[in-house]
Structure 1
Amino acid sequence: MDIHYTPAELAFRDEVRAFLTAELPADIAAKVRLGKHLSKQDHQRWQQILSKRGWFAVGWPEELGGVEWGAVEKHIFDEECAAFGAPRTIPFGVNMVAPVIIKFGTPEQKAHYLPRILDGTDWWCQGYSEPGAGSDLASLKTRAVRDGDHYVVNGQKTWTTLGQYADWIFCLVRTDPEAQQQRGISFLLIDMQTPGITVRPIITLDGDHEVNEVFFDNVRVPVENLVGRENEGWTCAKYLLTHERTGLAGIGGSKALLKHLKKVARAELCDGKPLIDDPLFRAQVAEVEMQLRAIEIATLRICAAAAHGGVPGTESSILKIKGTEIRQAITHLLRKVIGPYALPMLEEELDLQFAGELLHADYSASLSGDYFNMRKLSIFGGSNEIQKNIVSKMILEL
């Protein structure tokens, strides 16, 4: 199996690089490189640029406004965007609920929701996890009871990323409490402006408002907002999670972050000696780089297989496990190389003079926040422990 880029794929990479050079706003790229939090307006501005180029809805059918790249083109695009400092695409609308609607939705649902996702009219969030149902998602308790032409929804979702901005939420709800857990679940689309919905912020360790709790108190949802069949929403959920976990490998982002780690490690910081000269530290960097290279090759193998009709299975779990561990390891090494300058202090209280422009211009004093935020990677999208169970059952047959 050939994992090298073809001349056509190399030409596509050049096209992506030219686009990013010309169109990526400098202020947005600077925020990404400095680890700053992007506003909703920043994300929407970048989405509009991608939409104008026809590169926003990757994987959608062309007749619905998408671009039908192969797995290799998707990989190239993601890697180059990370290298240039482009923001990651907020996935909940375009990459998560949209594919579910395209595969399982009615013609009316496709005609209504997809154009609004494409042009940025609607911002979506995900309603999966609950206080007692995270990795064991099938144990969710949020209920939806049929009442005429509506469902009445009661319950709670948690860790709802960017739910404070959302116009709509796609939810897994229990519609048959007597059925086997997976068989009694349905997939609903819910307008966040519906009476009875309350969004409460959760402030994370990095001091940011990224995630939320969402409460449903007798929320009435039209039956026409059901995607797929009642009590068969688990099929939609599995389809969506396979897409999410593969994307969590974050190879492009890890490569860009590793490059930055090496740059900082070569600088003369606290004691005037580059930390990269330390054999133990250099060995740790090399170990992470070898693992990253291995997972990149595995991804290219999967891409090559997909180009010939293959479909990722347990590979998505493997990529999720190793990809998230690598990203956590790189932020750990960055925190180590910067030392006390990674402390969560106000920037004006730090003496950065001896560090030169490297830290001040290239990486903000919010590194500790990034480090803490990356701890979540091995938990969301299905914890790594759960993914290991999936791999053992599907491949090792234990």
Structure 2
Amino acid sequence: MDARLGDTHVRFRQEVRAFLDRELTGDIREGARRQAGIAADPSVGVAWQKKLNAHGWGAPAWPKEYGGTGWDAAQRQIFDEECIRAGAPSVWVSGLQLLGPVVMRFGTSEQKAFFLPRILDSEHYWAQGFSEPGSGSDLASLQMPAVRDGDDYVVSGTKIWTSHAHWANWIFLLVRTEKTANKRDGITFMVTPADAPGITVQPIISMSGEHETNQVFFDNVRIPVRYRIGAEGQGWDIAKYLLEFERSGAYAALSQSYLDIARRNARIPDPVTGERLWDDPCFRRDYADAQLRVTAQSWTEKRVISALSSGKNAGDALASILKVRGTEAQQASFEVSVTSLGAFGMADQREALRPGSNTPPIGPEGALQPTARHLNGRAASIYGGSNEIQRNILFRFIADGRIP
């Protein structure tokens, strides 16, 4: 693997930095500074997405024929890294990163023409309705039925941990259209407007204070057959394809940004004793452990970029490795960043984190996000298929001889 950037990619990094310096305005930057969850508040994230889309950068991973950038894997990685470095808000992924590729591959020409432009310009804001009470990491055990009635499916049941459903105007779903001996059969993928009669959204507030997740109830909701993506019963194959995008990604850059916060704060002398946490060997040990995890993750991500750049497929196994190691590296870096704050890490910053709040943050620069990020990030090793499930997947690959 050659991890060095060529002249083209060096120039591209410079172009991205120039764009961010010019377009990442104060309001958007300040909104991103208050982001503690996996994506910015829509008032910030949608505004940033519209700026990106106006510049032709709204869909970094999409092919040009659908309005995307047509960037190669290295360019996408550079763009993600530079956005994190500059403090840009994280754009909500359900439409751009998850549903978009599914519609491109499995949708009809009419579905592509209708949904893709509306995802790109943020007219549609999507939620993902996969998990159910009792069916999370074991997603194939989902039970919510969809019964065909003429030109509609009638859907009743509930989905849980549905992130951003209180903001979404569309939801994509996995439902059970047939009960079969093999629980992975009989699952169908479909979409519905979030304001369809019979849909109710109930908030779930996280321990870090964010309203990010919800439980969504469906009471005899009628979903037209034309909103089914793929064939009836093809939902599991579609879900596996989608989860490759959810489980991959650039974890290292975000993790490194929190280690940078930790290093900076740990070097500030205590105003009373003059001592620095950076000189504490226990802290340095934890910091070094997290830095090793992040460095290893960074090189794993570079391996993926190298493979994709040479025309190879990353595959299920590598997506699982990225998910496990990436989320664990993030959690370690978040925890070290909280430790570096000392007593300031215990401050309740929820009011200051609200978009538009004029409540000043408590503590040194960089003290606003780490505790909330740390608490929110505990879920990262659970959602998208828990890390225990990912290790089971990797074991099957090893047992089958597909990983030496």
- Give me the TM-score of the superposition, normalised by structure 1: 0.93
Stretch moving more, 173-182 or 75-84: 173-182
- Structure 2 gaps of 5+ residues are 352-359
Deviations 1:157-205 (A, max 9, x none): 0001010011100000000013521111000011111100000000110
Please tell me the root mean square deviation across aligned C-alpha atoms, in Å.
Answer: 2.0
Which of 215, 230, 233 is matched with 2:232 structurally?
Answer: 230
Tell me by how many angstroms 1:361 deviates.
Answer: 5.5
Higher helix share: 1
Q: SS in structure 1 opposite 2:74?
A: helix
Deviations 1:311-341 (A, max 9, x none): 1121111111111111111121122221221
Give yes or no for the alignment of 1:370 onto 2:373: yes
What residue is the counterpart of 2:64 in the other structure? 62
Contact 1:149 1:222 in 2 (8 A): yes
Superposition map of 1:171-182 within 5 A: 171-182=173-184
What residue is the counterpart of 1:25 in the other structure? 25
Tell me by how many angstroms 1:378 deviates.
Answer: 0.7
Tell me by how many angstroms 1:269 deviates.
Answer: 3.1
User: How many residues are matched?
Assistant: 390
Q: SS in structure 1 opposite 2:203?
A: strand
Tell me by how many angstroms 1:360 deviates.
Answer: 3.7
Tell me by how many angstroms 1:363 deviates.
Answer: 2.5
Paired AA for residue 319 in structure 2: S
Deviations 1:134-167 (A, max 9, x none): 0000000111000001000011100010100111
> 2:278 & 2:361 partners in 1: Cα distance?
15
What residue is the counterpart of 2:343 in the other structure? 340
What residue is the counterpart of 1:261 in the other structure? 262
Question: Using a 3 Å threshold, how does the CA distance of structure 1 residues 329 and 280 change in structure 2: closer, same or farther?
Answer: same
> 2:43 & 2:350 partners in 1: Cα distance?
25
- Structure 1 gaps of 5+ residues are 349-356
Question: Using a 3 Å threshold, how does the CA distance of structure 1 residues 34 and 60 change in structure 2: closer, same or farther?
Answer: closer
Contact 1:35 1:363 in 2 (8 A): no
Superposition map of 1:1-398 within 5 A: 1-35=1-35, 38-247=40-249, 249-269=250-270, 271-313=273-315, 314-345=317-348, 360=363, 362-365=365-368, 367-397=370-400
Stretch moving more, 364-373 or 97-106: 364-373
Tell me by how many angstroms 1:283 deviates.
Answer: 2.1
Contact 1:33 1:362 in 2 (8 A): no
Deviations 1:59-108 (A, max 9, x none): 22212111111111111111110010011121001111010000000000
What residue is the counterpart of 2:355 in the other structure? none
Q: SS in structure 2 opposite 1:177?
A: coil
- Give me the TM-score of the superposition, normalised by structure 2: 0.92
Contact 1:13 1:76 in 2 (8 A): yes
Contact 2:255 2:329 in 1 (8 A): yes
What residue is the counterpart of 1:353 in the other structure? none
> 2:302 & 2:186 partners in 1: Cα distance?
38
> 1:177 & 1:120 partners in 2: Cα distance?
36
